[in-house]
Amino acid sequence: GAGVSQSPSNKVTEKGKDVELRCDPISGHTALYWYRQSLGQGLEFLIYFQGNSAPDKSGLPSDRFSAERTGGSVSTLTIQRTQQEDSAVYLCASSPTGTGIYEQYFGPGTRLTVT
């Protein structure tokens, strides 16, 4: 079946503008994660959704970042008033369950460039 998909694949925006990044997880996967991959910084956890539970937002770097997951499926990561340091590849992953022992399936990522 189809894997995790993300859109857009590339996004260039001007500093101060808002952006929305979309993630379509694998059908049936209850857990969804957002990460940020920066050059030299590795993979940084942002937020985690598990079913209908309240999301774990502990990794969001500032209140300019928010995410929602509608109907337990598609998720949108929103960055308001973008800054140049927000430039990175944003990765989404889904998993059959959130217990942690199951493999995370990653999307291709969205490369965000803030000019």
Partner 1 sequence: AQRVTQPEKLLSVFKGAPVELKCNYSYSGSPELFWYVQYSRQRLQLLLRHISRESIKGFTADLNKGETSFHLKKPFAQEEDSAMYYCALISGQNFVFGPGTRLSVLP
Q: Which residues bind partner 1 (CB under 8 A)?
A: 3, 33, 35, 40-45, 48, 50, 56, 91, 93, 98-101, 103-109
Compute the CA torsion angle 22, 84, 54, 25 (nearest 10 deg).
20
Nearer to partner 1, 45 or 85 (CB): 45
In the chain, DSSP finds a helix count (H) and a strand count (E) of: 0, 10
Nearer to partner 1, 13 or 108 (CB): 108
Neighbours of 72 (CB within 10 A): 15
Minimum CB separation of residue 106 from partner 1 in Å reads 4
Query: Which residue, chain included where needed, has tokens 């050059």?
Result: 39
Minimum CB separation of residue 114 from partner 1 in Å reads 22
